[in-house]
Amino acid sequence: MSEDPIAAAQADGRTTLTEAEAKSLLAGAGIETPAFSVAADADAAVAAAEEIGLPVVVKVSSPSVTHKSEWAEGAGVAVGLDSADAVREAAAEIFDAADARGIDADVLVEEARDVDAGTEVIVGGLRDPSFGPVVLTGLGGIFTEVYEDTSHRIAPIDAAEAREAIEELTAIELLEGYRGREPADVDALAEVVAAVGDLVNEHEAISEVDVNPVLATEEGAVALDALVVLGGE
């Protein structure tokens, strides 16, 4: 995907980027993402999985699907696929479900990451009507809405300020290691927070960036899922 993902979405008249487009945007901003490829049929999905290396995750990729895991009774996201057959089956299920709903869809085939090997964090950016570009970070995954453990900054910020924002979280204790788990690379996470702030600051077309989760491990911070919303003018 060599073209500018924001321009591509705008050319289609879309206000949301596909996950692949969002991840290209993040990768371009220096944020680590799992290796991925977009496939238009089940054979291509299998080829992509072999290229990336098993196990992989297969997800629906369509401008009409924003919440992939809730889509088509859970068919939208299949994790831990460790054989060509499993990839083919998951991809076929997505294409069938898309046909049944009358939408155009591809599948995103992505290198699997072990979420238990780290802490899930949310990093978000948005363009606030009063404050302009802002960035937030917080405990991610299923706990985001339960604990609302978040901290905010007016963007742009440098990595030191981003690190301070992370250290304000109650979840910092999880990130610093608990029960013998290795501490996460908080500096790498801070780079992600700063980079998301920069993205919103630099691209006026972006109204919201939602990177949830970012997996923070001892080796770094990787964006496992991402949503980018453009201003609906």
Partner 1 sequence: MNLQRLFRPERIAVVGASATEGKLGYEAMANAVEFDGEVYPVNPSGEGEVFGEPFVESVTDIEETVDLALLAVPAHVVPDVVEECGEAGVGGAVIYAGGFAEAGGEGEELQEAVVAAADEHDVALLGPNTSGFVAPASNLLASFAGGVERLRPGGVTILAQSGGVAHQLAFSAHREGRGIATMVGLGNRANVGFEEAIPYFDSDPNTDAIVLHVEGTDDGRALLEACRESDTPVIAYKVGQADVGDFAESHTGALTGDHALYTSGFAQYGVPTVESTTELFDAGQALANSPEPDGANVGVVTAQAGPGIIIADRLQRAGATLPDLAEDTQDRVGEILPGITYAENPVDTGRPMPEFGDVVEAVAEDDNVDAVLVYELFEEALGFPQETLDGLAERVDKPVLFATEGPAESMADDLAALREADVPVFTSPERGADAAAVLARYATLDDAAADEEVSADV
Contact call for residues 193 and 174 (beta carbons, < 8 A): no
Q: Establish if 169 lies at the interface with partner 1 (CB under 8 A).
A: no
Q: Judged by CB under 8 A, which of 113, 152, 163, 181 binds partner 1? A: 152
Kind plus residue range of the DSSP H or E element containing 175: helix 172-175
Beta bridge partners of 138: 122, 150
Scanning residues 26 to 85, which ones bind partner 1 (CB under 8 A)? Answer: 66
Q: Establish if 230 lies at the interface with partner 1 (CB under 8 A).
A: no
Q: Establish if 130 lies at the interface with partner 1 (CB under 8 A).
A: yes
Give me the least distance between CB of 92 and partner 1, in Å please: 29
Q: Establish if 178 lies at the interface with partner 1 (CB under 8 A).
A: no
Give me the least distance between CB of 226 and partner 1, in Å please: 11
Query: Nearer to partner 1 by C-beta: 175 or 209?
Result: 209
Question: What are the backbone dihedrals phi and psi of residue 10, each rounded to the nearest 5 degrees, phi first?
Answer: -65, -40
Q: Establish if 128 lies at the interface with partner 1 (CB under 8 A).
A: yes
Contact call for residues 205 and 181 (beta carbons, < 8 A): no
DSSP for residue 148: -
Nearest Cα to Cα of residue 29 among 225, 230, 223: 223
CA angle 73, 216, 180 (to 5 degrees): 110
Give me the least distance between CB of 5 and partner 1, in Å please: 18
Report the amino acid identity of residue 10.
Q
C-alpha distance from residue 175 to each of 18, 30, 113 (Å): 29, 21, 18
Q: Establish if 187 lies at the interface with partner 1 (CB under 8 A).
A: no
Token code pair at residue 196: 């998301």
Query: Nearer to partner 1 by C-beta: 5 or 133?
Result: 133
d(CA 182, CA 49): 30
Q: Which stretch binds partner 1 (CB under 8 A): 17-25, 75-83, 92-100, 129-137?
A: 129-137
Scanning residues 199 to 218, which ones bind partner 1 (CB under 8 A)? Answer: 208-210, 212
Q: Establish if 146 lies at the interface with partner 1 (CB under 8 A).
A: no
Q: Centre a 10 Å sphere on the Cβ of residue 64 and count the other Cβ atoms it contains.
A: 15
Using CB under 8 A, count the residues that bind partner 1.
Answer: 31
- Residues that bind partner 1 in the complex, under the rule CB under 8 A: 66, 122, 124-126, 128-132, 134, 136, 138, 144-145, 148, 150-154, 157-158, 161, 164, 208-210, 212, 227, 229
